[in-house]
Structure 1
Amino acid sequence: MPRPKTKNELLSVSNQNYKNLWNYINSLSEEKLKTEFPKGYLNRNVRDVLAHLHHWHIMMFDWYTVGMTGEKPDMPAKGYTWKTTPELNKDIWKKYQEINFEEVKILLEKSFEELQEIINHHTEKELFEKRRYTWTGTTSLASYLISATSSHYDWAYKLIKKCLKQ
């Protein structure tokens, strides 16, 4: 699916990719949901992937909250750079190891709704105009939202599908 270029496309693709992800997950047996992914993948099961999505939602929400006050948010997170994202993702993975699938599901649904509210709150111009907000640098707010929503859901869907086929 092409990258969204309008507010309606962003909402539509975000919701559709999220729905596709959940339709696939909901089609899986309990056994498949608990199946460990092949060696070499940081996320070891479906729960881990959903926790990853949730945490990146939370980070996006934090960037937005801080950035919209005129301050510079810690991106991707305090103590990390974009080059150290693999270490950040490992720490995210560790953080959610004691949380079960059902809890992660609830957390993800809540954070998904929060990001949809942000998208809905803004005009198309506010979303897609590059350099509009200092904290987004040379890009647009939509670019960050696309990465945290529609693109990330597509990644998750493909990863889960691939890992459960092997």
Structure 2
Amino acid sequence: MPRPTTKIELVQVASEKFDKMWEVINSIPAEILEQPFDFSYDDKKKEAHWSRDKNLRDIIIHLFEWHELLLNWVNSNSEGEPTPFLPHPYNWKTYGDLNMEFWRIHQKTPLENAREMLKLSHNAVIELLEPLTDKQLFTKKHFDWTGSTTLGSYFISATSSHYDWAIKKLKAHKKSVLICLKEA
């Protein structure tokens, strides 16, 4: 489906991708999901996240924390409290450090807790969309606090685009474990 341009499409794509992500998670045998993620064999996987996330919990927590960023940002700014999307001292050049901080603070978060946190935060993001209009979501600079982009772009990034990222990573993990098992 093309990039959403209406609230209805945004909710539909976010929900479909979220469900697809859980289908992928549930389709991977537990013995594969429990294997540590290791993409060091693949020279094409150079971005920091390929070495950062070591397991399913790390991916789920990453998604949860980006939901939380969105929720905090929209709610604070909607209430008249000017708040940047990324918390101080982070910016778009250093958001990788923020991702590492999320990873660090959740190393003791149990997987089942992470799963529940993500489901709740996804629902909160969808609920946050409900009162918004297409104009509010997809008109550039409708809100001064969105800068030069649309509010909808932030929602897409924190939901369907991030869910696609997770699906790709989970499938790559499954493939790498299966390759290792065949070689063993």
Fold-level similarity (TM above 0.5): yes
Q: Secondary structure, in 3 states, of the residue corresponding to 1:74? A: coil
- The one-letter code sitting in structure 2 at the alignment partner of 1:24 is V
* 2:24 and 2:170 in contact (8 A); partners too: no
How big is the alpha-carbon RMSD for the aligned residues of Structure 1 and Structure 2?
1.2
Corresponding position: 1:13 with 2:13: yes
- Aligned residue number for residue 126 of structure 1: 136
Q: Secondary structure, in 3 states, of the residue corresponding to 2:93? A: helix
Q: How does 1:1-166 map to 2 (within 5 A)?
A: 1-38=1-38, 39=40, 40-166=50-176
Q: Which runs of 4+ in 1 moved over 3 A?
A: none
Deviation at 1:99, TM superposition (A): 0.8
Larger Rg: 2
- The one-letter code sitting in structure 1 at the alignment partner of 2:130 is N
Q: Secondary structure, in 3 states, of the residue corresponding to 1:145? A: helix
Normalization by structure 1: what TM-score?
0.95
Q: Secondary structure, in 3 states, of the residue corresponding to 2:67? A: helix
- CA distance, structure 2, for counterparts of residue 33 and residue 77 of structure 1: 32
Aligned residue-pair number = 166
- CA distance, structure 2, for counterparts of residue 124 and residue 37 of structure 1: 39
Identity %: 39
Gaps of 5+ in 1: none
**What whole-Å deviation, never above 9, does each CA across 1:67-96 have from its counterpart, x for those lacking one?**
112332133122111100111111100111
Deviation at 1:131, TM superposition (A): 0.6
- CA distance, structure 2, for counterparts of residue 77 and residue 156 of structure 1: 23
**What whole-Å deviation, never above 9, does each CA across 1:105-128 have from its counterpart, x for those lacking one?**
000000000000011221111111
Gaps of 5+ in 2: 41-49, 177-184
* 1:131 and 1:140 in contact (8 A); partners too: yes
Normalization by structure 2: what TM-score?
0.86
- CA distance, structure 1, for counterparts of residue 27 and residue 151 of structure 2: 34
